[in-house]
Structure 1
Amino acid sequence: MATTLLTVPGLGGSGPTHWQTLWEQQYGYRRVQQPDWDHPVCSEWVQTLDAAVAAAGSQVVLVAHSLACATVAHWAATTRHQLQGALLVAPADVDRPDFPPEVIGFAPMPLARLPFPSTVVASTDDRYVSLARAQQFADAWGSRCVNVGALGHLNSESGLGLWPQVHQLLRELLG
């Protein structure tokens, strides 16, 4: 059975030059479409993710960015569905006091071990999560943590294009 890769964008969705969008175009990955990209409610995002995973079949890998990493952690604590794995890129620290007020219900960040293989990818100069905090998430989740250097929030502004080095991490996660 073929593996289905689902991209899971964060706050605002992923625009036309974001590596997730480029991966969808280049590799045929499918996007989880949230009901409201700009005013996310955790319970709604988790429900949408659960429905997308259920519809995707039995061999699913998630590729999450930013707030979507918190979505995956919340989802993992409540779902009956299983994954092949998850690539969790730039997990936004939803516990920060300066987190955007339009984001509802994502804090506190779940810190339970994830029931599937996962890799956290983090930058040394991400304004939404420190490298130390990303490492803390990875440790709690049982994830491998990969430091990719000073690349900001690992989004469109970072100018990553197809980002082949992290696509390689995804292939390694798939085994």
Structure 2
Amino acid sequence: MTSTQALTTLIIPGFQGSESAHWQSWFQSKIENTHRVHQNWDEPILAHWAENIRNAIDKCNGKVWIVAHSFGCLAAILAGIDRYQNIAGAMLVAPADPERFTLGGIKEESELTGSESIRSLIPTHRLPFPTLVIASDNDPWMQASKVQLWSNIWHSEFINLPSAGHINTASGFGPWHAGLTLFENFQLTQSKLAAKPLSPMKKRRLSGKTGQIAKLRFETRKYLGIF
């Protein structure tokens, strides 16, 4: 077993989860030492999802790999910023457009224009851990120009899959051999960064008022009228 394989891989589905036929479930059956982060799949509340992911990172020994899909990508990014020293790398597949969501969840059709979104909470700087963004030019959840822009902002490696939709079961992505190869190649590229697990004493933990998720929780409580 290589050092990259020895690290935990966190599988992070998106809105409404990843069913058994989804490529993420197939990844989970193929990659050793994987753990799926469970959420309330029908309530994509960014603060809750990001905190659950951060807690999952904290439970792992050493660095982790992240394989996220759709809205899960957004939550994984925020959790990763709070635990960036513990992230070996993140593969972000078909990120959802943050403008499609509010702090309280997914927007209704009537809210798609002119209402607040979580866009301002998504980092507009280079991410402090390696990222690979895989997207499609006809994804209904994020326009190709937008995902390319976000990838540039984050300094992510970017791969476009032509006419692949949301890269989910509905668009034909069950067993995804090419995707697994992309992930393994990404791991090899980042292996020097991920080779040595961190000891608990070296883990950087941002919490309280300084943490990304703490700020997100505050904004969410304010948005929902919970004080």
- What is the TM-score when the length of structure 2 is the normalising length? 0.70
Give yes or no for the alignment of 1:30 onto 2:43: no
Q: Secondary structure at the match of 1:147?
A: strand
Inter-partner Cα distance in structure 1 for 2:138 and 2:96: 13
2:146 to 133, 138, 160: 133
The residue type paired with residue 106 of structure 2 is P
The residue type paired with residue 119 of structure 2 is A
- What is the TM-score when the length of structure 1 is the normalising length? 0.89
Inter-partner Cα distance in structure 2 for 1:37 and 1:68: 10
Ranges in structure 1 where 5+ consecutive residues have no aligned partner: none
Inter-partner Cα distance in structure 1 for 2:130 and 2:186: 7
Q: Secondary structure at the match of 1:150?
A: coil
Percent identical among aligned pairs is 32
What residue number does 2:131 align with?
118
What residue number does 2:119 align with?
107
| Alignment RMSD (CA, Å) | 2.2
Inter-partner Cα distance in structure 1 for 2:81 and 2:25: 27
Inter-partner Cα distance in structure 1 for 2:18 and 2:83: 25
Q: Secondary structure at the match of 2:24?
A: helix
What residue number does 2:56 align with?
52
Shift of 1:95: 1.5
What residue number does 2:167 align with?
154
Give yes or no for the alignment of 1:16 onto 2:20: yes
What residue number does 1:39 align with?
43
Q: Kindly provide the CA deviation profile for residues 131-169 of structure 1, in whole angstroms up to 9, marking residues without a partner as x.
A: 111111111111000001101000110112221111111
- Higher mean Cα deviation, 149-158 or 111-120? 111-120
Inter-partner Cα distance in structure 1 for 2:134 and 2:93: 5
Which protein has the bigger helix share?
A: 2
Residue-pair matches, total: 173
4+ residue segments displaced more than 4 Å:
96-99
Q: Would you say the 8 A contact 1:11–1:40 is kept in 2?
A: yes
Q: Secondary structure at the match of 1:95?
A: helix
What residue number does 1:61 align with?
65
